[in-house]
């Protein structure tokens, strides 16, 4: 019975907020090819992302993700607005948010709104770059999981 549970704790639930279906498909395929233990749920706009995170409507039974990958340029409610709401919510602010940028300027735009994401990753341009991109997300996740919460013990 313990073997059934092994690996379940290693599974990463990812919420990908990405309006481009091609990018979403490439990300999902590369995660599968890399044999990463994860569940990827994809939404395409800011309102849908917030519904998912607040477990409203069709997402009422979905678990909260372990990590959010957020494209800042979304139709409707922007990624910056989503990030702001997440970071100002006492429950959601604990979920790491990775902003997916197309350039270094994208990071500066987000930061100019006075909101800080947990990290920023540049989205790949070429399909073969998605392998490295997925690896970067995995490294970020393991750094968070393995890092003890030192901020709680420091004053």
When pLDDT is cut at 50, 70 and 90, the band that residue 153 belongs to is very low
Beta-ladder partners of 97: 68
Segment 9-30 shows an average pLDDT of: 84
Q: Is the predicted pLDDT of residue 41 greater than 60, yes or no?
A: yes
21 or 130, greater pLDDT: 21
Least confident of 47-56, 80-89, 96-105: 96-105
Q: Is the predicted pLDDT of residue 144 greater than 90, yes or no?
A: no
CB 101 within 8 A of CB 123: yes
Nearest to 134 by CA among 26, 11, 8: 26
When pLDDT is cut at 50, 70 and 90, the band that residue 105 belongs to is low
What letter would DSSP give residue 10?
A: T
Q: Where are the domains of the chain?
A: 2-146
Residues listed for the chain: 155
CATH ID of 2-146, from 1.20.1560.10, 3.40.50.2300, 3.50.7.10, 3.30.70.1890: 3.40.50.2300
**Integer CA distances (angstroms), 151 to 67, 140, 147, in order:** 20, 18, 11
Q: Is the predicted pLDDT of residue 7 greater than 50, yes or no?
A: no
Q: What local confidence, expressed as pLDDT, does residue 10 receive?
A: 64
């Amino acid at each position: 019975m313990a073997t059934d549970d092994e690996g379940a704790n290693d599974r990463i639930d990812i919420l990908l907020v990405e309006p481009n279906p091609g990018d979403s498909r490439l990300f999902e395929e590369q995660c599968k090819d890399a044999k990463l233990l994860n569940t990827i749920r994809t939404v395409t706009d800011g309102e849908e992302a917030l519904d998912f995170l607040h477990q409203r409507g069709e997402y009422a039974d979905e678990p909260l993700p372990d990590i959010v990958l957020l494209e800042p340029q979304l139709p409707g409610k922007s990624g910056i607005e989503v990030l702001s709401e997440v970071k100002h919510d006492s429950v959601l602010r604990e979920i790491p948010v990775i902003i997916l940028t197309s350039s270094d300027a994208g990071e500066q735009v987000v930061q100019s709104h006075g909101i800080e994401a947990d990290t920023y990753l540049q989205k790949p341009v070429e399909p073969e770059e998605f392998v490295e991109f997925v690896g970067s997300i995995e490294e970020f996740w393991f750094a968070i999981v393995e890092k003890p919460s030192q901020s709680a013990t420091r004053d």
